[in-house]
Amino acid sequence: MPDPLVSQGPQRVRAGDDELTKLTVAGRIAGPARSAIFLLLFFGIEVICRTMATVSIVVPCALIPGYRDRFFRRFWNWIVAYWGRSTWRCLRGSMGLRLEADGEIPAGRFLIISNHQSTVDIPLLFSIFRGKNLKFVVKKGLLRRGSIVGTALRQAGFGVVEFTNPRKTLAGLAVYCRELEGWDGSAVLFPEGVRSFDGNVGEFQPSGLRLLAGRTGLRILPVVLDGAWRARSMGQFARLSGRTIRARVLPPLGPFDRERSEELEALPGRIEQLIRSELDRLRSEGSS
């Protein structure tokens, strides 16, 4: 593999504004209309998932002895996967999104490391990694009251951490690592810590990646995503109407023994360069 190309890093820009000014009147109306359709469908998914959680988890766990030990994790895994794949199908249908993905997905559990361009990345990864129980590392601020997403993050084996406090972050990740196997889960980490403002790969935050690689003992599966950076959050999804998002799953690395400190020390930089290089290659092949 050739030496990776080093990006200059993300700059804080308002992605997609130039393109929006070129839209026709019909185009300006179509984007918000598609967003409204998506939000209605997404609300429907939330209602369905909350109903499923109540019927298959909350009520039986309260009434049937031993039910929680046998079925709690199984049903949460199923509901979370349903939410992710259904959300992607709604995005694809309402926004006219297309996905071009390549690479092989090996059997087994992995530590999935991906660049992060948009909220869209999350349901997109659920769609790509069907059959794997994805458990994302997420910030505590996403624990919204009343949302099925917030409930799932608290109860379904995700790595909810306090990013503003490094000590609490590492402590939260340590707990997450210990519980991951019990969920038959594949860890998912966005090491940049934030979504990109211009689609380029930001600097990796190394501590969490090293901890997860060393303590989970999982092989690492690098993933490169491109095409969704114009809409970092749900309120900007209209900017993605009719676009193609590309994904590439790279060959697995490791596993990495936490006793081999030198190897773990160099690991974040190695994966960052690999993802930067592959993103450049993906774009040279015609990414949006």
What pLDDT tens digit does each residue of the chain (288 aa) get? 332 222 333 333 333 344 444 444 445 556 678 888 999 999 999 999 999 999 999 999 999 999 999 999 999 999 999 999 999 999 999 988 999 999 999 999 999 999 999 999 999 999 999 999 999 998 877 676 567 888 898 899 999 887 777 788 888 888 999 999 999 999 999 999 889 888 999 999 998 899 999 999 999 999 999 999 988 887 788 888 888 999 999 999 989 877 777 888 999 999 999 999 999 999 998 744
What is residue 234's DSSP assignment? G
Distance CA(42)–CA(92), nearest Å, equals 12
Distance CA(139)–CA(122), nearest Å, equals 14
- pLDDT value of residue 221: 97
The answer as to CATH 1.10.3470 being correct for domain 97-284 is no
Give the phi and the psi of residue 47 in degrees, each rounded to 5: -65, -45
Distance CA(168)–CA(166), nearest Å, equals 6
- pLDDT value of residue 89: 95
DSSP assignment of 89-123, as one string? HHHHHHH--EEEEES---SS-EEEEE----TTHHH
The answer to whether 124 and 227 are in contact (CB under 8 A) is no
Distance CA(217)–CA(210), nearest Å, equals 11
Q: Please name the residue that has the structure tokens 């095409």.
A: 227
Whole-model pTM: value is 0.86
- pLDDT value of residue 29: 56
Please list the alpha-helical segments (H only) found in the chain: 17-21, 25-53, 59-63, 67-95, 121-128, 148-155, 166-180, 206-216, 261-284
